[in-house]
Amino acid sequence: MTISSDNPLREGLRSRQVAEACSLVIFGATGDLTHRKLVPALYNLAAAGDLPPGLQVLGFARRDKTDESWRAELEESNRKNSRGGHDDALWASFASGIGYHRGNFNEPEAYRALAGRLDEIDARGGTRHNRLFYLSTAPEFFPVVLENLKAAGLNEPRGGGWSRVIVEKPFGVDLATAQALNGVVNETFQEADTYRIDHYLGKETAQNIMVLRFANAIFEPLWRARFIDQVQITCAEHLGMEGGRGAYYDTAGATRDMVQNHLLQLLSLVAMEPPTDLSADSVRDEKVKVLRSLRPLDSAAVGENVVRAQYTAGAIDGVPVPGYREEDRVAPDSQTESYVAMRTFVDNWRWEGCPFYIRMGKRLPKKATEISLHLKQPPAVLFQKMPQGGESNVLTIRIQPDEGMSVRMLSKLPGTNLQIEPVKMDFRYWSSFGKGSPEAYERLLLDALAGDATLFARRDEVENAWKFIDAIEGAWHAGDRPPPMAEYPAGSWGPTEADLLLAERGHRWRRL
């Protein structure tokens, strides 16, 4: 297939992204995300020569600061958080394009002043009336900021430039709130100019799923229920509720916090059909079809197919840690899950009958995100003495850490007897390419600056994912007889109920 070079959208994921100069306004400039992720990502893009020379970054927040004091704070956090280290000379040139704009999010005057400041920046040349607004505030301010941007006319492109918005997560807490927020977003910005962040899509390994599937001939013919027995998607974290995180987490839980977005996105990439081309909408059309094909769960089905659990006191790396309900800012009688495991089905032609198991948990023994596709067993007529409990073939995609892929297969052990053992073919990013992957936020910021929304969630993706999750949350919180909350000790691989869920069909969770 040739890809026409006169249609930039067709290039999509393939091409080197070319960012356009603009003013990037970060709302929530003093927050943790700006310090830990956004500014270090911009700095590393600058270090790689990927940022256009005229880029201006303006932080918008309530606290009283000056351009200089904010830059000094960012410099300190960049030293700690920058992936590629910190160089004083490079920082000095990068930081010369950084400024601070003090304002309350609900104060129209602050936005009029912002408009004036952006006009001045444009008048100096370089930014060409291009504006990118990054909503990194607490979610209750998303509509407030959007409405004020609109009132100040900042949402409308002008002078031949563009106006785009990036919206951080969480995007709503259920379908109704996501639809309401989408209403405000779409009244303010065109959908094509709206970039809903899901940072898992910016991970190198997540992007590689499409390449793996559609640039190779070896896997795709097998990539269907006819040959695949089950698919597992695991996201394990060893962290608990450090740094006051319990306050947010106890209102969300594992399902809203990670399954609705990151894990359903990974599932969509694994299950989708090949898109007609690599444009943002073609890729997202296929992902939406997967989300729409997820078998809906009524409350009885939630009881049978979903396990929720909380960690009890235990140990991580030998250090004792409290149980979930004893964590800072978590209710002592909390009904919020720190772990969820589910069996779900994609009811379409390709995947009929193949279970997709998803699990996510806090305070598990290690941090690892992995997708594994377990192939059906070959006929047993020839080799009856297979290794104990062994599956013949498993294809594993390691999203993080130790990014890579492996294929498990069976081989004859050298010797005069016929003894069969599993072996592994392994691809590791680091050894194949000699370099680590960029941070997800680098790729995503670059894409938004280049106008490519492929790796951002579209309105219908977010809403269809919520529709699926709402049924589960409804059964837990509004149903007559909510299924019980299981328990697992911190530092273990989750509750036994989750093992039983797989055992029902003769399956087992992959050991990570």
In the region spanning residues 165 to 204, those forming contacts with ligand BG6, defined by CB under 6 A, are 169, 199
Say if CB 46 and CB 87 are below 8 A apart.
no
Centre a 10 Å sphere on the Cβ of residue 431 and count the other Cβ atoms it contains.
9
337 part of the interface to ligand BG6, by CB under 6 A: no
280, two tokens: 């943002």
Which of residues 268 and 299 has its CB atom nearest to ligand BG6 in the complex? 268
Which of residues 257 and 442 has its CB atom nearest to ligand BG6 in the complex? 257
Q: How far apart are alpha carbons 71 and 60 in whole angstroms?
A: 13
Give bridge partners of residue 132 from the DSSP assignment: 24, 164
Q: Pick the catalytic residue: 35, 101, 262, 507? A: 262
Which of residues 122 and 168 has its CB atom nearest to ligand BG6 in the complex? 168
Name the minimum Å distance from CB 54 to ligand BG6: 31
73 part of the interface to ligand BG6, by CB under 6 A: no
Radius of gyration over alpha carbons of the chain, in Å?
Answer: 24
Name the minimum Å distance from CB 308 to ligand BG6: 16
Which of residues 149 and 397 has its CB atom nearest to ligand BG6 in the complex? 397
Q: Beta 339-345 vs 355-361: how paired, if at all?
A: antiparallel
In the region spanning residues 199 to 228, those forming contacts with ligand BG6, defined by CB under 6 A, are 199
Instruction: Fill in the per-residue mask, 133 to 172: x = in contact with ligand BG6 (CB under 6 A), - = not in contact.
Output: ------------------------------------x---
Q: Beta 319-321 vs 314-316: how paired, if at all?
A: antiparallel
Which of residues 111 and 311 has its CB atom nearest to ligand BG6 in the complex? 311
Tokens 């509004």 — which residue? Answer: 478
Which of residues 249 and 476 has its CB atom nearest to ligand BG6 in the complex? 249
Name the minimum Å distance from CB 274 to ligand BG6: 27
257 part of the interface to ligand BG6, by CB under 6 A: yes
The answer to whether 262 is a known catalytic residue is yes
Q: How far apart are alpha carbons 470 and 19 in whole angstroms?
A: 37
Closest of 307, 293, 366 to residue 502, by C-alpha: 307
Which of residues 103 and 202 has its CB atom nearest to ligand BG6 in the complex? 202
Which of residues 229 and 257 has its CB atom nearest to ligand BG6 in the complex? 257
Name the minimum Å distance from CB 199 to ligand BG6: 6
CA 307, 311, 312, 316 dihedral sign is positive
Name the minimum Å distance from CB 150 to ligand BG6: 28
Q: How far apart are alpha carbons 337 and 263 in whole angstroms?
A: 16
186, two tokens: 């779409």
Q: Which residues contact 415 (CB under 8 A, 6 or more apart)?
A: none
- Alpha-helical runs (H) found in 124-165: 142-151
Q: How far apart are alpha carbons 445 and 164 in whole angstroms?
A: 12
The residue type found at 49 is G
Instruction: Fill in the per-residue mask, 230 to 249: x = in contact with ligand BG6 (CB under 6 A), - = not in contact.
Output: -------x------------
Q: Beta 368-375 vs 394-400: how paired, if at all?
A: antiparallel
Name the minimum Å distance from CB 137 to ligand BG6: 15
Tokens 């032609």 — which residue? Answer: 349
**Which residue is at the shortest CB distance from ligand BG6?**
257
Q: How far apart are alpha carbons 143 and 27 in whole angstroms?
A: 12
Centre a 10 Å sphere on the Cβ of residue 269 and count the other Cβ atoms it contains.
23
Give φ, ψ of 343 to 5 degrees: -110, 125
Name the minimum Å distance from CB 409 to ligand BG6: 29
What are the angstrom distances between the C-alpha of 4 and each of 1, 7, 278? 10, 6, 11
Name the minimum Å distance from CB 258 to ligand BG6: 6
Count of residues that interact with ligand BG6, criterion CB under 6 A: 5
Name the minimum Å distance from CB 180 to ligand BG6: 21
DSSP string, 436-496: -PPPHHHHHHHHHHHT--TTSB-HHHHHHHHHHHHHHHHHHHTSSSPPPPEEEETTSS--H
The residue type found at 6 is D
Which of residues 237 and 452 has its CB atom nearest to ligand BG6 in the complex? 237
* Residues noted as catalytic: 262
Chain residues that interact with ligand BG6, rule: CB under 6 A: 169, 199, 237, 257-258
